[in-house]
């Protein structure tokens, strides 16, 4: 913290928020210049969790990177796995069987539920509702984690997808359990929304805070719920139609104002759409193999070439850019992390607001530092 | 307060007395009992393990049963530093600084493989290979990430350790001894690595013995 | 909506920016995501055209990344006619010819269109010099999305983006020397010996200590 003198504003205060700060969702740091309580400048500082994911990925085999992708966005291991598997499948030409694609959709949508639920809890924690909303959110999270654990053996770090399919098959009992969780989810959402959505304090803290113009969002490469909260209709599930998403009926909710409240509402609405997809997928899952017979785990050597594979993760477009030179290791392994790019417009969103609002705005971007810094 | 009072009467005898409504205790026991059941952790998350740390404090696992639910945002009010996640070289000076800012008595749990040794990211150029190179660690909780139950077990182990601490003599905890430092040197980010690469007072590189040498 | 083919895009670029050099880089793998190699001098002009062209409208720059390709030895199979040893005309033989392919640093941009929902169009730009003048023009003025990603490429690969508004290290600390994602980066010594991949590190430490000739406590065998 230090005083800064500015010809125009007079005496300003520069405050370093983070890397240890209770509301920065990890080890994120913002250098904020304040005029009184108003933010006149904000510079994010990254790298406090830069664990060299890409460098390590280039030093190990293709399959060995799969468990590392779990740790990118540690709330959404399944979607990270899928994005990586998808990129390698593009690179090698493998084709997952239909059952595997269904399982992937189920797991990805469960992950979306999990991520958005946690985000809602954390966002309310940031507005000052300490404890209670997060307790509700984590209660639901545990139910989904139980499903992941039953299937993959691990709560958070699932390491489940394989190139050309999945690692283990789902059992009818697992599907029944998943269906039970999915069926109970709307009740939780209703309960949560009754507490939060119409709450006057929540509305006062979030409406009109951190507005983003759609033009700016598109230019800055913002993706995911943040982009759709600005009213831009761009959902990779619809645009690319990867996996089997074209088979499922769902709508893409869009916001009007691009403010923090819209970003919260978009996530709630997306969860309701995800529940619809889950019901269709769990009911329609066909029998069959779960792995492409040509698939190879260890000793995979994709032909020389490169591929960019992307999916609609819960936070936005998560993409993997892979270059192979025909050896057992990737020669370039790059992760396009959604929350890293989404942070580009953090300063634009926060200017003119108070410090307390910056905390809420940051919460609504939904960052995970494992992915921002990689 | 001396050791003699605690050794003259056995656990069975005391349990028998307790059954008759007589509570015998020593100042040391009372003091440690109070300390061990109000360990306030610092609300400090680094990476994946932090999510499991939060989960441990939530409804299902409920760390409040052990008196540690009061996660403090400020190091000045905390007793326990849970290093939950990968410590990078860029972050290590801040972790040591937080440790220095905590008042004694203070304890440290290294949660997860990364905090213990660098874990899966050990070979990264920006990853510290274990936080015990800079600050003394009381309990190591292995796992990647450890389950919340494992963290609870680690906390119970810490409580056992606190309860066993004598209040006088050479084995007394740091805050009761004048000679032991409670402030550790903060490393600086150098050209490629941290300077110094470790704190020789708490950690020394292992002596390497190779068969082929 | 389908993406126009890269040949069409290249022709449109050459029609709009006649001075630009745009060549197709073929991607032999099954992904068949071919790319366009643009020369450094006209990159910004080409990018602005791609963004504003009503048919392409590549308004969304998704991914920016660097690639370090060190100098490598390539073996080409060449068919050559040699006179047969018995003098009866010529005979075709296959020879392996080794050549050194120079290394380069490269920046790759993955462009999509949110307006017309197509993509990806992959742009590449190369700097031949890995040591000195590794600089390319910044595309941050065209797409804001490049701002942090170009800083990351600068930090990890050492490619200088001229025209970037705030080109500083982003992931490593400011005093850090070197660019870790380059293939020839030497990591700091690891003071823990383990049986497998760390042996090379130990050899390096030993060599360095032998040079320093003042063995202190630490990694010795």
SS (H, E, C) chain B: CCHHHHHCCCHHHHHHHHHCCCCCCCHHHHHHHHHHCCCCEECCECCHHHHHHHHHHCCCCCHHHHCCCCCECCHHHCCEEEEECCCECCCHHHHHHHHHHCCCCCEEEEEHHHHHHCHHHCCCCCECCCHHHCCCCCEEECCCCCCHHHHHHHHHHHHHHHHCCCCCCCCCCHHHCCCCCCCCCCCEECCCCEECCCCCCCCCCCCCCCCCC
- Token reading at C106: 């490269």
- Which residues of B lie closer than 8 Å to A, measured between beta carbons? 43-48, 50-52, 54-55, 58-60, 73, 75, 85-86, 88, 90-91, 94, 98, 114, 120-121, 123-127, 144-145, 147
Mean pLDDT of chain A: 89
User: Higher pLDDT residue, C54 or B9?
Assistant: C54
C191 and B126 within 8 Å at the Cβ level: the answer is no
Overall average pLDDT of the B11-17 stretch: 85
Residue C189 DSSP code: P
Overall average pLDDT of the C180-205 stretch: 72
- Token reading at C200: 């090379």
A316 beta partners: A313
Residue A250 DSSP code: -
Dist CA C188 CA A53 (whole Å): 17
Closest CA to A86 of A244, A315, A242: A242
Contacts of B64 in chain A (CB under 8 A): none
Q: Are B121 and A56 contacting, i.e. CB atoms less than 8 angstroms apart?
A: yes
Enumerate residues 6+ apart whose C-beta is below 8 A from A37.
Answer: A354, A355
Mean pLDDT of chain B: 85
Structure-token match 């059952």, residue found: A99
pLDDT for residue A294: 82
Dist CA C108 CA B43 (whole Å): 40
The tally of CA atoms less than 13 A away on the side-chain side of residue A34 is 20
User: Higher pLDDT residue, C151 or A26?
Assistant: C151
pLDDT for residue B204: 80
The predicted-structure confidence for B144-165, as pLDDT tens digits, reads as follows: 889 999 999 999 999 999 988 8
Of A19, A51, A135, Cβ closest to residue B127: A51
B90 and A50 within 8 Å at the Cβ level: the answer is yes
- Whether the upstream peptide bond of residue B115 has omega within 30° of 0, thus cis, is no
Return the residue of A nearest to B148 by Cα: A155
CA distances in angstroms from A108 to A112, A150, C135, listed in the order given: 6, 16, 40
Dist CA B198 CA B205 (whole Å): 9
Percent of chain A with pLDDT over 70: 98
pLDDT for residue C192: 63
Residue C161: how many other CB atoms lie within 10 Å: 21
Closest CA to C155 of A151, A301, A52, B193: A52
Band of residue A79 on the pLDDT scale cut at 50, 70, 90? very high
E strand map for chain C: 22-25, 35-38, 60-69, 72-83, 90-101, 104-113, 118-127, 135-137, 160-162
Q: What's the farthest any 2 CA atoms get from each other in chain B?
A: 68
Q: Does the CB of C15 have a partner CB in chain B at under 8 Å?
A: no
Which pTM was predicted?
A: 0.88
Least confident range from A96-100, A130-134, A341-345, A361-365: namely A130-134
Closest CA to B79 of B38, B50, B49: B38
Nearest-CA distance B194 → chain C (Å): 10
Dist CA B108 CA A189 (whole Å): 38
Return the residue of A nearest to B42 by Cα: A22
For residue B6, pLDDT beyond 70: no
Q: Taking the C-alpha atoms of C191, C197, C201 and C202 in order, what is their torsion angle to the nearest 10 degrees?
A: 70
The predicted-structure confidence for C2-41, as pLDDT tens digits, reads as follows: 677 888 888 888 888 888 888 888 888 788 788 888 888 8
pLDDT for residue A11: 79
Closest CA to B142 of B169, B174, B117, B105: B117
Band of residue B210 on the pLDDT scale cut at 50, 70, 90? low
A218 and C33 within 8 Å at the Cβ level: the answer is no
C31 and A218 within 8 Å at the Cβ level: the answer is no
The predicted-structure confidence for B30-49, as pLDDT tens digits, reads as follows: 888 888 888 999 888 888 88
Dihedral sign of CA atoms B145, B148, B153, B158 in order = positive
The predicted-structure confidence for B167-180, as pLDDT tens digits, reads as follows: 877 778 888 877 77
Overall average pLDDT of the A252-277 stretch: 92
Q: Are C122 and A308 contacting, i.e. CB atoms less than 8 angstroms apart?
A: yes
Q: Are C72 and C99 contacting, i.e. CB atoms less than 8 angstroms apart?
A: no
For residue C76, pLDDT beyond 80: no
Q: Does the CB of A310 have a partner CB in chain C at under 8 Å?
A: yes
A305 and C110 within 8 Å at the Cβ level: the answer is no
């Amino acid at each position: 913290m230090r005083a800064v003198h500015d010809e125009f504003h007079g005496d300003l205060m520069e405050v370093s928020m983070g890397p240890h700060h209770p509301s920065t969702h990890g080890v994120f740091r913002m250098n904020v210049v304040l005029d009184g309580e108003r933010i006149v400048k904000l510079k994010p500082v990254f790298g406090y969790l830069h664990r060299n994911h890409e460098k390590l990925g280039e030093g190990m085999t293709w399959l060995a990177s799969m468990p590392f992708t779990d740790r990118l966005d540690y709330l959404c291991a399944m979607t990270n796995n899928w994005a990586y598997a998808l990129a390698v499948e593009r690179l090698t030409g493998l084709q997952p069987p239909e059952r595997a694609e269904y399982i992937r959709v189920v797991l990805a949508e469960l992950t979306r539920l999990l991520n958005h639920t946690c985000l809602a809890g954390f966002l309310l924690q940031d507005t000052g509702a300490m404890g209670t909303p997060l307790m509700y959110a984590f209660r639901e999270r545990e139910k989904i984690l139980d499903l992941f654990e039953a299937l993959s053996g691990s709560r958070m770090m699932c390491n489940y997808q394989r190139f050309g399919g999945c690692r283990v098959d789902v059992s009818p009992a697992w599907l029944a359990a998943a269906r039970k969780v999915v069926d109970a989810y709307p009740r939780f959402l209703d309960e949560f929304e009754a507490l939060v959505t119409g709450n006057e304090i929540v509305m006062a803290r979030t409406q009109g805070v951190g507005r983003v113009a759609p033009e700016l969002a598109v230019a800055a490469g913002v993706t995911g719920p943040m982009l759709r909260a600005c009213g831009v209709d761009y959902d990779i599930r619809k645009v690319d139609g990867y996996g089997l998403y074209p088979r499922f009926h769902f709508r893409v909710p869009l916001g009007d104002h691009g403010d923090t409240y819209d970003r919260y509402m978009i996530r709630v609405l997306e969860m309701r759409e995800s529940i619809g997809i889950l019901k269709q997928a769990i009911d329609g899952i066909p029998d069959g193999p779960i792995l492409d017979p040509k698939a190879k785990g260890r000793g995979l050597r994709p032909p020389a070439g490169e591929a960019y594979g992307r999916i609609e993760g819960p936070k936005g477009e998560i993409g993997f850019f892979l270059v192979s030179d025909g050896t057992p290791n990737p020669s370039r392994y790059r992760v396009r992390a959604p929350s890293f790019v989404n942070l580009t417009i953090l300063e634009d969103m926060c200017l003119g607001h108070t410090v307390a609002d910056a905390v809420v705005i940051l919460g609504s971007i939904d960052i995970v530092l494992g992915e921002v810094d990689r | 307060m001396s050791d003699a009072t605690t050794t003259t009467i056995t656990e069975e005898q005391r349990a028998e007395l307790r059954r008759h409504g007589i509570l015998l205790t020593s100042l040391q026991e009372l003091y440690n009992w109070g300390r061990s059941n109000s360990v306030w952790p610092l609300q400090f998350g680094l990476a994946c393990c932090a999510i499991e740390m939060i989960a441990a404090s939530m409804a299902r696992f409920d760390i409040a049963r052990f008196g540690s639910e009061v996660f403090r945002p400020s190091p000045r009010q905390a007793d326990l530093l849970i290093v939950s996640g990968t410590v990078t070289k860029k972050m290590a000076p801040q972790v040591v600084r937080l440790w220095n800012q905590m008042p004694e008595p203070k304890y440290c749990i290294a949660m997860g493989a990364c905090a213990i040794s660098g874990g899966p990211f050990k070979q990264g150029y920006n990853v510290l290979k274990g936080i015990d190179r800079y600050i003394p660690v009381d309990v190591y909780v292995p796992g990647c990430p450890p389950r919340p139950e494992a963290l609870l077990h680690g906390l119970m182990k810490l409580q056992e350790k606190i309860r066993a601490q004598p209040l006088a003599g050479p084995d007394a905890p740091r805050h009761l001894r004048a000679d032991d430092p409670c402030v550790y040197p903060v490393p600086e980010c150098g050209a490629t690595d941290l300077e110094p690469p470790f704190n020789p007072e708490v950690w020394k590189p292992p002596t390497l013995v190779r068969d082929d040498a | 909506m389908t993406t126009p083919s890269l040949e069409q895009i290249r022709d449109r670029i050459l029609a709009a920016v006649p001075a630009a050099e745009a060549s197709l880089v073929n991607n032999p793998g099954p992904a068949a995501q071919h790319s366009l190699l643009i020369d450094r001098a006209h990159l910004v002009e080409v990018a602005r055209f791609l963004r504003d062209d009503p048919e392409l409208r590549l308004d969304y720059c998704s991914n920016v990344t660097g690639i370090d390709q060190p100098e490598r030895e390539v073996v080409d199979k060449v068919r050559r006619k040699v006179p047969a040893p018995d003098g009866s005309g010529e005979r075709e033989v296959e020879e392996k010819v080794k050549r050194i392919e120079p290394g380069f640093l490269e920046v790759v941009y993955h462009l999509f269109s949110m307006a017309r929902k197509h993509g990806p169009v992959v742009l590449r730009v190369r700097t031949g010099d890995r040591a000195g003048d590794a600089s390319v023009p910044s595309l941050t003025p065209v797409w804001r999305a490049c701002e942090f990603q170009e800083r990351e490429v600068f930090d990890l690969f050492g490619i200088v983006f001229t025209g970037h508004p705030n080109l500083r290290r982003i992931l490593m600390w400011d005093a850090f020397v070197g660019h870790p994602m380059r293939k020839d980066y030497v990591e700091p010594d690891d003071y823990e010996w383990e049986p497998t991949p760390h042996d090379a590190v130990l050899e390096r430490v030993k060599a360095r200590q032998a040079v320093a000739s003042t063995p202190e406590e630490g990694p010795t065998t």
